[in-house]
Chain A
Amino acid sequence: MNRRLLLKALATLAMASGVAGFTTAHASDPIRIGVSAPKTGPLAGGAAVTFWPNVQLWVSEVNKRGGLRMADGSQRPIEMIEYDDRTDPAEAIRNIQRLATTDRADFILAPYGTGLALAAAPIFDRYGYPMINVSAITDQTQTLAQRYERIFFTLGRTTDLAVAVANVLTDMRNAGQIGNKVALVNVADAFGIELAQAARPIFQQNGFDIVFDRSYPPATQDLSPVMRGVKSSNPDAFVAFSYPPDTFALTELAQIENLDVKAFYTAVATPFPSYAGRFGDKINGVLGVGGVNPDSPEFLAYQKAHKEVSGADPDYWASAVTYASFQVLEQAIEGAGGVDRGAVADYIKQNSFETVMGTWTFENQEIQNFWTVGQWQNGKFYGVASTGDLPGAVAPIVRQGW
């Protein structure tokens, strides 16, 4: 065991020394921004779609126009210091500490992933860094906002995301589009368990009959027994609070088993371009978590720039929100006119921001209007439900066979 620890330490040292060469370079007094997020480990796949390309895009956009404008009129480019946290909260904390103390970063971007973000929040607070979270979905946002005065949330709360699914299905049922029987599955992980717990009572209150209700462990290699159970319960609607590998597996198995439901919902990764890339038009009418307004000029321009810089399309949910969170930091630094972290945090609380997601204003350190449910319609993933009536929502359609 000691050898393993030693190895871990060595690997970390090797990584740190790789970055050190980068940080000693002295350009025209750049603003140093640190970031620690998964490049390896279970969350790396999601981060590679939603997080890292936006970091790349943001640095490229800001530096292309000369950098961030300071109060004295000078412009300072961004110098990015990147660390891999290997999807390990302990590693994330060490990275943030190193960024704060050794690298002396002016600002640090919030990590990707709820567990990692929550683990890092106390360290951000201790060193006084503003922390604008995106992929940190929890119901504890207000508790955390009271505890840490420079923490912000943008992507939504667990209960709202789960309740919205139940509400969308209730509306469809009341309109006579779907029947009363719902099959519910979830990944046995904090995210899946919380969402299922929040959704279950709403389904029951609305008179739904939950005919199948099971969880499965993360990284299950064969989900066919689950899908077969769903199929034999003969539901009218299927809801899975799932993670990327299982989202893909469940969708494929539903086609193989020919699960003929009028409403089919899977969670994380449903808005990924690779989801459409893999299943083509078969997913028309598939519901998923999140959504955007994919026809808004802001999103179209963002999509184009994202593709040009990173070579890949953004997803239809957290990608644009991630980029918007960087825009908030950018505008707040320029608004405050410098790198005083307290002034930047205050600026975020007191002002509105023009972002790819539209105009953002933080209330109680939180964006209150966010997309909750989306749906694939004709090759694009549209938001169908949001808290606070975001513009561009479309009515959900009933799914027709695979």
Chain B
Amino acid sequence: MEIIVTGIFLGGIYALIAMGLSLQYGVARIMNLASGEMLVAGAFAGFWVYTAQSVSPYVALLIVVPAAFALNWLIYRYLMLPLVRRAKSRGHLEVDSILATFGLSFAMVGIMLAVFGGSFFNYSYLSQPVTLFGSIYGLNRVVAFSVAVLICGLLWYGINYTRHGMAIRAVSVDPDAAGLVAINVTRVSTFAFALGGAVAATGGTLLSTFLTLDASIGIIFTMKALVIVIMGGVGDIRGAIVAALALGLAETFVATVIDPGLTLAAAYLLFILILLFRPQGLFGRRTS
């Protein structure tokens, strides 16, 4: 039970990290290697609001979400769209966007280094025990998990049951065909990219309540998100959630029952198995 609950908590956080990238890569077709930096920027905002203004980091979300949305809108509009326009094929766009966002990640690390300095930032927020099913958990993790569930739920509902969501799914399946049925593909892609960035930054704010971060740690989260998105199947929100939970459970199980030293090995073993037996990801469609 303890393993399952801890694993699900970890998986929920992973899901949130991966969700942003899933939207950006699955819909807007931008493999955003600066996703982790966006997350760290969100974490910085939470840290700053809590330490300098002494209000709850969750209040920071009121600023973080619109700010990250706007910033990512601009990034897509002015940095990515020219690449999208000149790309001859999807593969071409992927290579271009990987290069561009790789550079963007360096720039963002540099900016955060200049603004906040390079030292660790962390704080204690809701660092108290709560008892669930007879075991003790940190309240900050429980709250972060609940918010993550809420956000994942909202996204899932929005994408599957609203008109906008249908447009997003249509672009994700085939941007050219979506254009034929009067969907403004550029607009939907921009929206998905901006939404993805806002979700990543939200994840950062949540993580900052219990993790110790610094300006250049983003790459770790980019890698994790990448693994989850590929495991779940590109462009499938549901797949990302399932893959994230599987990863969280596998890591916690191995850490508790076998050895904490093998968590990374377990995560990558799972990744390799999925690549071997379902190369398109858990819920992915075979590319024709």
Q: Which residues of A contact B (CB under 8 A)?
A: 3-4, 7, 11, 39-42, 44-49, 52, 185, 188, 214-217, 219-226, 228-229, 244-245, 248-249, 252-253, 255-258, 269, 272, 274, 278-279, 312
B119 within 8 A of A: yes
Contact B120 A217 (CB under 8 A): no
Q: Which residues of B contact A (CB under 8 A)?
A: 2-3, 6, 9-10, 13, 95, 99, 102-103, 106, 109, 113, 117-120, 122-124, 127-129, 135-138, 141, 210-217, 220, 224, 251-252, 255-256, 259-261, 263-264
- Known A-B contacts A7-B99, A44-B215, A252-B210; the reply to A278 vs B122 at CB < 8 A is yes
Hey, which chain A residues are within 8 Å of B224, CB to CB? 221
| Cβ 8 A contact of B127, one of A7, A221, A222, A255 | A255
Secondary structure at the A interface, as helix, strand, loop or mixed, is helix
Closest Cβ of chain A: how far from B183's Cβ, in Å? Answer: 33
Closest Cβ of chain A: how far from B222's Cβ, in Å? Answer: 13
Q: Which residue of A lies closest to B214 (CB)?
A: A45
- Known A-B contacts A44-B216, A52-B118; the reply to A278 vs B113 at CB < 8 A is no
CB-defined A-B contacts under 8 Å, sample of 5: A42-B216, A45-B212, A49-B120, A245-B211, A245-B212
Hey, which chain B residues are within 8 Å of A278, CB to CB? 122-124
Hey, which chain A residues are within 8 Å of B102, CB to CB? 4, 7
The answer for the CA separation of A257 and B128 in the assembled complex, in Å, is: 9
Hey, which chain B residues are within 8 Å of A219, CB to CB? 217, 220
Hey, which chain A residues are within 8 Å of B117, CB to CB? 48
| Contacts A42-B216, A221-B10, A245-B211 known; 19 new A-B pairs at CB < 8 A | A7-B103, A39-B118, A40-B216, A48-B119, A48-B120, A215-B261, A216-B261, A220-B263, A222-B6, A222-B10, A222-B252, A223-B260, A224-B137, A225-B3, A225-B256, A245-B120, A255-B127, A274-B119, A278-B124
| Cβ 8 A contact of B129, one of A214, A244, A257, A269 | A257
The answer for the CA separation of A257 and B122 in the assembled complex, in Å, is: 19
The answer for the CA separation of A150 and B211 in the assembled complex, in Å, is: 41
Contact B263 A216 (CB under 8 A): yes
Contact A252 B124 (CB under 8 A): yes
Hey, which chain B residues are within 8 Å of A226, CB to CB? 255, 260
Closest Cβ of chain B: how far from A144's Cβ, in Å? Answer: 28
Hey, which chain A residues are within 8 Å of B10, CB to CB? 221-222
Hey, which chain B residues are within 8 Å of A279, CB to CB? 124
Contact A256 B138 (CB under 8 A): yes
Hey, which chain B residues are within 8 Å of A223, CB to CB? 260
- Known A-B contacts A222-B252, A255-B127, A256-B137; the reply to A40 vs B261 at CB < 8 A is no
Closest Cβ of chain A: how far from B258's Cβ, in Å? Answer: 10
A-B pairs, top 7 by smallest CB distance, nearest first, are A48-B118, A48-B119, A45-B214, A40-B216, A216-B260, A225-B255, A45-B120
Q: Which residue of A lies closest to B124 (CB)?
A: A278
Contact A224 B122 (CB under 8 A): no
Contact B113 A40 (CB under 8 A): yes
Hey, which chain B residues are within 8 Å of A45, CB to CB? 118-120, 212, 214
Hey, which chain A residues are within 8 Å of B118, CB to CB? 39-40, 44-45, 47-48, 52
Closest Cβ of chain B: how far from A217's Cβ, in Å? Answer: 5
Contact A253 B212 (CB under 8 A): no
Contact A225 B6 (CB under 8 A): yes
Q: Which residue of A lies closest to B13 (CB)?
A: A221
Contact A258 B260 (CB under 8 A): no
| Cβ 8 A contact of B212, one of A216, A217, A248, A255 | A248
Closest Cβ of chain B: how far from A113's Cβ, in Å? Answer: 13
Q: Which residue of A lies closest to B98 (CB)?
A: A3
Contact B260 A220 (CB under 8 A): yes
Contact A249 B120 (CB under 8 A): no
Closest Cβ of chain B: how far from A107's Cβ, in Å? Answer: 24
Hey, which chain B residues are within 8 Å of A40, CB to CB? 109, 113, 118, 215-216
The answer for the CA separation of A40 and B113 in the assembled complex, in Å, is: 8
Hey, which chain A residues are within 8 Å of B261, CB to CB? 188, 214-217
The answer for the CA separation of A249 and B260 in the assembled complex, in Å, is: 15
The answer for the CA separation of A215 and B106 in the assembled complex, in Å, is: 32
The answer for the CA separation of A188 and B259 in the assembled complex, in Å, is: 12
- Known A-B contacts A44-B215, A258-B129; the reply to A274 vs B120 at CB < 8 A is yes
Hey, which chain B residues are within 8 Å of A248, CB to CB? 120, 122, 212
Hey, which chain A residues are within 8 Å of B135, CB to CB? 228
Q: Which residue of B lies closest to A10 (CB)?
A: B103
Closest Cβ of chain B: how far from A326's Cβ, in Å? Answer: 19
- Known A-B contacts A7-B99, A256-B127; the reply to A41 vs B216 at CB < 8 A is yes
Q: Which residue of A lies closest to B138 (CB)?
A: A256
Hey, which chain B residues are within 8 Å of A256, CB to CB? 127-129, 136-138
The answer for the CA separation of A236 and B231 in the assembled complex, in Å, is: 43
Contact A3 B129 (CB under 8 A): no
Hey, which chain A residues are within 8 Å of B95, CB to CB? 3
Hey, which chain A residues are within 8 Å of B137, CB to CB? 224, 256
Contact B120 A228 (CB under 8 A): no
The answer for the CA separation of A312 and B119 in the assembled complex, in Å, is: 11
Q: Which residue of A lies closest to B257 (CB)?
A: A225
Hey, which chain A residues are within 8 Å of B256, CB to CB? 225, 228-229
Closest Cβ of chain B: how far from A169's Cβ, in Å? Answer: 23
Kindly name the residue among A42, A188, A221, A278 whose own CB sees the greatest number of chain B CB atoms within 10 A. A221
Q: Which residue of A lies closest to B110 (CB)?
A: A40
Q: Which residue of A lies closest to B106 (CB)?
A: A11
Q: Which residue of A lies closest to B136 (CB)?
A: A257
Closest Cβ of chain B: how far from A67's Cβ, in Å? Answer: 28
Closest Cβ of chain B: how far from A58's Cβ, in Å? Answer: 18
Closest Cβ of chain A: how far from B186's Cβ, in Å? Answer: 27
Hey, which chain B residues are within 8 Å of A7, CB to CB? 99, 102-103
Closest Cβ of chain A: how far from B139's Cβ, in Å? Answer: 8
